[in-house]
Amino acid sequence: MMRRLCGGARVSIAVLAMTCIAVAQLSAQSGLTGNWAVENSNGDGAIRRSYFTLAQQGDSIHGSIRATQFFYRIKEGTGTADKFTIVGSMMDGTSERKVTYEGRLVGDSLLLATRRRATDTMLTRSVARRVPDGEGAMPARVALPARHTVKYNGLAKAPPMGWNSWNKFAGRVDDAAVRGMADAMASNGMRAVGYEYINIDDTWEGNRDAQGNITSNSKFPDMKALADYVHSKGLKLGIYSSPGPNTCAGYEGSHGHEVQDAKTFATWGIDYLKYDWCGARNMYTDEEMPAIYQIMGDALLATGRPIVYSLCQYGRLDVWKWGADVGGNLWRTTGDIRDAWDSMTRIGFSQNELSQYAKPGHWNDPDMLEIGNGAMTDDEYRTHMSLWAILAAPLLAGNDLRAMTPSTHAILTNRMVIAIDQDPLGKQGSRVRASAAGDQEIWTRQLADGATAVALFNRGTAAAPMKVRWADVGLGNHGAATDVWTLRRVDTAAPEYEALVPSHGVVMLRVAR
Ligand code: GLA
């Protein structure tokens, strides 16, 4: 039986009774005590709320704060309804995260202010309203499975190549943009040189339906139709989720729905999953990560659909040592990249120790490309592309493929550089020499046909002559060499080779056996 009561919505008698009890509870509460929610809207129909569960005793405040992917216990809470401060604290792996809110109660609204980053001068303000007790409570942990080795899915024999939405679009990615990227990749020469995956990152998620199935939000009206479209272009579609209850952007994660979500992804025609730790950090220790990642590894395999499995937990717990065992085809080795020379080089040049862990089917992932996003020079982007090729890194373009400059296009589609990245031997390169000041580095990568890629990187602020003695890089009886950026043949008769390498630039050679 349906009734139009309690605000006019059509509700059943049972829901009506529960709603009225909740309303009665709410009006009985006064002061700060209660459960408060801030609605976070991205205009896509997904319900995302931050919860402030407060208990006031005199002028001290206890409770918890659940905001996007984080869950904090209130460590210090002082003040009264007129003015209060709460400091939340949580452990994230071995480090403590803290958040501070200042607030006051006005009528029945909680006015809150916080600084997103400690260094922010501007306050971020929001308004919380009372919601029923228990809403937004953290779910229970899932049972950790016994560890076993997840069978290799046979995919990613070479590092995956494609595009990912996050670096350029973040929360603004939608169906039209994804179709546009597929159109561009199929027609601008990228597909022809090996780019294949079109990967939707965070913010596609809607809420769960009555059966617990994940839905897509209004930015993605029909995920299956989108997959069909991408497939019709000869490309593959990737998606994103988290083992936590929330993704990093605060959307619905796969927590407790792992098998169900893997099946949904397979039904939609998804070919690649990036699985991002995010909200799982509130529930599990780092030591529990392998078991948690194994759950999705098993679930993907059980769908019977070939789905590349990409682990994203920022390189914690030496993921390169266990990523393959949980079914991972690739694993992020660091925190997030930014479109900045410092960020890109801090990540790229720190990968030397990880070479031994990469092999066909299982790759270190120093994060997606920033090439073409505008804040680095072409020399810097050539360094980015060359370094990622030496590292046998996934090549996931992160720019707007519909509007590229000719030089961005040339950098992303250089066939000789891509051939080094995709080399079938699958042996990640490493540093062979660095100048005393660390500004100049020579890296090499052994290739399947006996050739060697030799990269001369100049991280300094001025152009520098760099010299490589063939014998020093293990190239005694070498053959012909080609500069992979200029496509010029390089004279290999002399015992050494010298080039003027621009500031923040690179010279990369392919030296035949
Ligand atoms: C994390 C990941 C990023 C991106 C965002 C999305 O920060 O490391 O690559 O997926 O989440 O919210």
| DSSP one-letter code for 124 | E
* E strands present in 119-177: 124-131, 161-164
Residue ID of nearest Cα to ligand 1 atom 9 = 336
Ligand 1, atom nearest to 247 Cα: 12
Q: How far apart are CA 369 and CA 361, in angstroms?
A: 20
Beta-strand ranges (E) seen in 255-375 are: 272-276, 308-312, 330-332, 363-365
Among 427, 325, 429, 328, CA closest to 386: 429
Residue type, 267: T
List, in order, residues 6 or more apart from 498 with CB less than 8 Å away. Answer: 465, 466, 467, 468
Least confident of 155-159, 230-234, 474-478: 474-478
276 Cβ closer than 6 Å to some ligand 1 atom: yes
Whether residue 2 is predicted with pLDDT greater than 80 in this model: the reply is no
- Write the residue with the smallest CA distance to atom 5 of ligand 1: 248
Q: Is 175 touching ligand 1 by the criterion CB < 6 Å?
A: no
pLDDT at 424: 98
Q: Which residue, 493, 432, 428, 494, is CA-closest to 457?
A: 432
Q: Per mean pLDDT, which range of 10-14, 257-261, 372-376 is the poorest?
A: 10-14
| Catalytic-labelled residue, pool 276, 365, 400, 423 | 276
Closest Cα to atom 6, ligand 1: which residue?
A: 202
With a 6 Å cutoff on the Cβ, whether 249 touches ligand 1 is yes
276 is catalytic: yes
Cβ(326) – ligand 1 distance below 6 Å: no
Write down the pLDDT at residue 29.
55
Segment 247-303, tens digit of pLDDT:
999 999 999 999 999 999 999 999 999 999 999 999 999 999 999 999 999 999 999
> How many Å is the Cα radius of gyration of the chain?
26
Number of CB atoms found within 10 A of residue 306's CB:
15
| Dist. CA 86 → ligand 1 center (Å) | 27
**Choice between 117 and 272, residue whose per-residue pLDDT is larger:** 272
What is the C-alpha separation between 309 and 292, in angstroms, rounded? Answer: 13
Both ends of the chain: CA-CA distance in Å?
81
Residue 455 has a CB neighbour count (10 Å cut-off) of: 26
pLDDT digit string, tens, across residues 429-460:
999 999 888 899 999 999 999 999 999 999 99
Q: How many CB atoms lie within 10 A of CB 493?
A: 4
40-49 pLDDT tens trace: 989 999 989 9
Q: How far is CA 61 from CA 81, 123, 415, in A?
A: 10, 22, 61
Q: What is the DSSP string of 467-493?
A: EEEGGGGT-TT---EEETTT--EE--S
What is the position in ligand 1's atom list of the atom closest to the CA of 240?
10
Q: Is 337 in the pocket of ligand 1 (CB under 6 A)?
A: no
Instruction: Round to whole Å and give the CA distance between 480 and 161.
Output: 28
Q: Quick one: which atom of ligand 1 is closest to the CA of 203?
A: 12
The whole-number pLDDT of residue 174 equals 98
Tell me what the pLDDT averaged over the chain comes to.
93
Nearest atom, ligand 1, residue 274 CA: 10
Atom of ligand 1 nearest to the CA of 248: 12
Catalytic residue among 336, 379, 439, 483: 336
Residue 205 Cβ contacting ligand 1 at under 6 Å: no
User: What does pTM read for this prediction?
Assistant: 0.93
- Give the whole-angstrom CA distance, residue 310 versus residue 219: 23
Q: Which residue has its alpha carbon closest to ligand 1 atom 3?
A: 336
Least confident of 132-141, 258-267, 477-486: 477-486
**How many C-beta atoms surround the C-beta of residue 229 within 10 A?**
18
Q: Give, for 419, the enclosing helix (H) or strand (E).
A: helix 415-421
Choose which residue among 312, 331, 332, 370 to substitute to test ligand 1 binding: the one with the highest number of ligand atoms within 8 A of its C-beta: 312
Mean pLDDT of 188-210: 98
Task: Write the CA distances from 152 to 52, 157, 360, 361, 421, integer angstroms.
Answer: 43, 11, 11, 8, 21
pLDDT of 327 > 60? The answer is yes
167: left (phi over 0), alpha (psi -120 to 50) or beta: alpha
Kindly give, in sequence order, each residue whose CB lies less than 8 Å from that of residue 28, ignoring residues fewer than 6 positions away. none
Ligand 1 centroid–CA 202 distance in Å is 7
Is the pLDDT at 67 greater than 50? The verdict is yes
Task: Extract the tokens encoding 27.
Answer: 């009006």
- pLDDT exceeds cutoff 80 at 461: yes
Is 166 touching ligand 1 by the criterion CB < 6 Å?
yes
From 163, 166, 273, 278, mutation site for ligand 1 pocket: most ligand atoms within 8 A of C-beta? 166
Q: Look at residue 437 in the predicted model and tell me its pLDDT.
A: 86
